[in-house]
């Protein structure tokens, strides 16, 4: 048996940020040299970020990716590197060459014929540039994935490179998930070690699924497997990293941390072989670094609530950072949702970059106003009070004749919410700060929100978080503060009082909705598991309740379509995952 030292570059790529990504890849490659790595493995589409979506339809984007690949190849005394990128069809034998206008680029013999057709590839770079190219075989087209829109699947022999006498089979993400698929084919062709470049988005329970799959695939192929994953936020998606390596028995022998960049250095034993394209460089690994203490580090997994909290923090931080927002503002009502969003925002970008606004109406309780001030003090954020009573009176007077006496009932409740939204968006316009909305998944599911009111803003931090989970996350954040000796950020009174929008006297959420302990499991069945109403009723739920709630979900699609993006933490979030028509007459439970 031979040993190969791999450096798994768990990186935070920027979609379309070629210069930043080349710099990051170069940094990881240099770090790989410092730890004596034989090979550096990077995530899927690491050169351009994932998912690039319709940028792939722009010719200039493909040309920029080719230039970036050439820029990355110009390195000395560093290990060979496997880079995720795209290439035109017919990538076998692709070489680096200068273009006719003097710019360096990637060219193929049939470049002109295939300019609009690209494949998702993993490129092996050595001293001479591109040594080999592996094309993704299986293109996912479910959940958040839409790869058949952009890529052509790989065909023909798969790619094996030989590094220090080990035959390394190259795979891209989905290719490793199928039994008797590309991984098994590589093993049959002589690969003795498999490496997988991934851009696998976070969802609850995903790490356990990955590890179970890798265990199955390692046993099937009798090969150790190195799995590197992207980390960072991209629009609604957040990538958790948690890169890992398993031995041929499927046992996890190395695991990177969650939600942070890291170079995971692992040593894998594999059978020696002469199979594969030699991946040779002038770089020589320093044998003195062969037993560094950080090799095969095994990070302990986070528990589920901790993992979700970190996903929300990273998703929020990267959305603001990558889109150029320096500050965030939000309405703090003294309720549990705005309290959680404020805590996440502070953990994401720091207290000095977060500002709260309390906007009481005649119906706001004194306790809620005090809770908002206390929350701000504990988080050390500035809070400004902007009473909306005068604006409310003006709107009421203006609408008196049109609405025959003025707005009443639900109209008046929504009017208050929209006044607050106008103030928040005005402050956003004047300061350049992004408005963070505070609605949760339970409310969005049933339409318990005000269009152009509390739903108005730039980023919906807890859009995919059910109300019951909101409370769990608040308790987690308070417990975290206790462990490090800090004051609990979320006052106990916020967690103990009944949830209420406080838009009418004595209002409580349970006057309009069933208790969240009942509602959230029902919504999970209907929204995330696609159970029918009859299937839910068969589980013991009341027929009238199920009919009412499922109709509310169906009829609120027009609202959800107008909501801002937010962090995805479930396997079916509103937005990319669940694509329902707004105009929809299919209601079998009517």
Burial label for 481, CB within 10 Å (0-12, 13-18, 19+), is middle
pLDDT of residue 590: 58
pLDDT of residue 292: 59
Query: 524 an active-site residue?
Result: no
As a whole number, mean pLDDT of residues 142-170 equals 90
Candidate list 44, 211, 413, 528, residue with the active-site label: 44
d(CA 10, CA 25): 10
Candidate list 147, 173, 236, 443, residue with the active-site label: 173
Taking only the tens place, the pLDDT of each residue in 438-464 is: 999 999 999 999 999 899 999 999 999
Give the least confident one: 288-297, 357-366, 556-565. 288-297
* Fold exhibited by the domain 2-301: Nitrilase/N-carbamoyl-D-aminoacid amidohydrolase (3.60.110)
How many percent of the chain have pLDDT more than 90?
Answer: 75
Q: In what order do the strands lie in the sheet with 252-255?
A: 252-255, 244-246, 225-229, 193-198, 166-172, 160-163, 277-278
CA distances from 191 to 91, 121, 149, 182 (A): 21, 18, 31, 11
Question: Residue 291's pLDDT band (boundaries 50, 70, 90)?
Answer: low
8 A C-beta contact, residue 355 and residue 472: no
Helix axes 467-483, 304-322, angle to 10 degrees: 90
d(CA 50, CA 387): 43
d(CA 315, CA 573): 14
As a whole number, mean pLDDT of residues 22-47 equals 95
CA distances from 187 to 245, 455, 456 (A): 17, 52, 53
Q: Which has more pLDDT, 527 or 579? A: 527
Count how many Cα atoms sit within 13 Å of the Cα of residue 147 in the half-sphere of its side chain: 26
8 A C-beta contact, residue 384 and residue 372: no
Examine the pLDDT at 101 and tell me if it is beyond 70.
no
Cα angle 438, 443, 447 (rounded to 5 degrees) comes to 120
CB neighbours (10 Å) of residue 249?
Answer: 11
Query: 529 an active-site residue?
Result: no
Helix extents (H) in 350-500: 366-379, 389-398, 409-431, 441-446, 467-483, 492-496
Q: Where are the domains of the chain?
A: 2-301, 305-560
As a whole number, mean pLDDT of residues 326-332 equals 96
Question: Residue 104's pLDDT band (boundaries 50, 70, 90)?
Answer: very low
pLDDT of residue 293: 61
Query: 474 an active-site residue?
Result: no
Taking only the tens place, the pLDDT of each residue in 264-281 is: 999 999 999 999 999 877
CATH number of 305-560: 3.40.50.620
8 A C-beta contact, residue 266 and residue 246: no
**Cβ-proximal residues to 377 (8 Å cutoff; 6+ apart), any chain:** none
Question: Residue 92's pLDDT band (boundaries 50, 70, 90)?
Answer: very low
Question: Residue 173's pLDDT band (boundaries 50, 70, 90)?
Answer: very high
d(CA 589, CA 238): 35
Examine the pLDDT at 111 and tell me if it is beyond 60.
no
Tell me if 2-301 shares its fold with 305-560.
no
Candidate list 58, 112, 113, 136, residue with the active-site label: 136
Helix axes 366-379, 336-349, angle to 10 degrees: 10
Taking only the tens place, the pLDDT of each residue in 370-411 is: 999 999 999 999 999 999 999 999 999 999 888 888 888 899
**Spatial CA neighbour of 214 closest among 264, 173, 266, 186:** 173
Report the length, in residues, of the chain. 590
The dihedrals phi and psi of 489, each to the nearest 5 degrees, come to -70, -30
Omega before 505 within 30 of 0, i.e. cis: no
CB neighbours (10 Å) of residue 561?
Answer: 12
Cα angle 9, 59, 231 (rounded to 5 degrees) comes to 20
């Amino acid at each position: 048996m031979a040993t190969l030292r791999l450096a798994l570059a768990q990186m935070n790529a920027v979609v379309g940020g070629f210069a930043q990504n080349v710099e990051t890849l170069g940094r990881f490659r240099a770090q790989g040299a410092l730890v004596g790595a034989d090979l550096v493995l990077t995530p899927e589409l690491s050169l351009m970020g994932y998912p690039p979506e319709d940028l792939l339809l722009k010719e200039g984007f493909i040309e920029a990716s080719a230039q970036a690949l050439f820029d990355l190849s110009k390195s000395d005394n560093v290990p060979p590197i496997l880079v995720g990128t795209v290439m035109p069809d017919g990538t076998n034998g692709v070489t680096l060459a200068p273009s006719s206008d003097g710019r360096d680029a990637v060219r193929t013999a049939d470049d002109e014929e295939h300019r609009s057709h690209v494949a998702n590839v993993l490129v092996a770079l050595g001293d001479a540039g591109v040594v080999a190219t592996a094309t993704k075989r299986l293109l996912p087209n479910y959940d958040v994935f839409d790869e058949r829109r952009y890529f052509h699947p790989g065909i023909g022999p798969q790619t094996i490179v030989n590094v220090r006498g080990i035959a390394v089979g190259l795979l891209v993400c989905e290719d490793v998930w199928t039994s008797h698929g590309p991984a098994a084919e590589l093993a049959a062709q002589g690969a003795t070690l498999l490496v997988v470049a991934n851009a696998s988005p976070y969802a609850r329970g995903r790490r356990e699924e990955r590890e179970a799959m890798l265990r199955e695939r390692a046993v099937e192929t009798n090969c150790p497997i190195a799995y590197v994953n992207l980390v960072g936020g991209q629009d609604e998606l957040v990538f958790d990293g948690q890169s890992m390596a398993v031995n041929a028995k499927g046992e996890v022998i190395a695991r990177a941390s969650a939600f942070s960049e890291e170079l995971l250095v692992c040593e894998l034993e594999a059978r020696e072989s002469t199979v594969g394209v030699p991946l040779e460089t002038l770089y020589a690994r320093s044998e003195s670094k062969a037993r560094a203490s950080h090799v095969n580090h095994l990070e302990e997994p986070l528990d589920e609530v901790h993992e979700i909290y970190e996903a929300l923090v990273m998703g929020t931080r990267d959305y603001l950072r990558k889109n150029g927002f320096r500050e965030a503002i939000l309405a703090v009502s003294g309720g549990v949702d705005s309290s959680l969003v404020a805590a996440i925002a502070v953990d994401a970008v720091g207290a000095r970059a977060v500002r709260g606004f309390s906007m009481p109406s005649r119906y706001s309780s004194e306790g809620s106003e005090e809770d908002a001030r206390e929350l701000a003090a504990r988080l050390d954020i500035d809070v400004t009070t902007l009473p909306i009573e005068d604006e409310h009176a003006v709107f009421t007077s203006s609408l008196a004749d049109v609405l025959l006496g003025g707005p009443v009932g639900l109209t008046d409740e929504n009017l208050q919410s929209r006044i607050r939204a106008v103030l928040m968006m005005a402050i956003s316009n004047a300061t350049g700060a992004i408005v963070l909305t505070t609605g949760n998944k339970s409310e969005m599911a049933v339409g318990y929100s005000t269009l152009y009111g509390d739903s108005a803003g730039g980023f919906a931090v807890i859009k995919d978080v059910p109300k019951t989970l909101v409370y769990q996350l608040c308790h987690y954040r308070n417990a975290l503060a206790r462990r490090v000796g800090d004051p609990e950020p979320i006052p106990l009174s916020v967690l103990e009082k009944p949830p209420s929008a406080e838009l009418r006297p004595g209002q409580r959420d349970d006057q309009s909705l069933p208790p969240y302990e009942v509602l959230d499991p029902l919504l999970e069945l209907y929204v995330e598991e696609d159970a029918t109403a009859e299937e839910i009723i068969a589980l013991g739920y009341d027929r009238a309740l199920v009919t009412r709630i499922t109709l509310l979900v169906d009829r609120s699609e027009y609202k959800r379509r107008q909501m801002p993006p937010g962090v995805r933490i479930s396997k079916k979030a509103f937005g990319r995952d669940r694509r329902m028509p707004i105009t929809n007459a299919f209601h079998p439970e009517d």
